[in-house]
Amino acid sequence: MCNRMFRRASKDALLRDKLLPIRLREVLDEWNLGGDGKHRLNRDDKYYKKSLRK
């Protein structure tokens, strides 16, 4: 996913005659990426006890 974003930003920069990005950090922000699928359960959640036994 990161390389796809980097290639897209590079293509946009080429089309607009701007400076090309050199590093991935110039293109992406780690806070904007999607999550890894983990989630937290509260004790008030109705599936809390069921999730503990698995």
Using CA atoms, how far apart are residues 41 and 51, in angstroms rounded to an integer?
8
Using CA atoms, how far apart are residues 38 and 54, in angstroms rounded to an integer?
15
Q: What is the mean pLDDT of each run of 10 residues along the chain (54 residues)?
A: 85 94 81 65 74 67
CA atoms within 13 A on the CB side of 32: 7
Nearest one of 30, 34, 18 to 9, comparing CA atoms:
18
> What is the token pair recorded at 7?
């290639």
Across 1-54, where does the E strand assignment appear? none
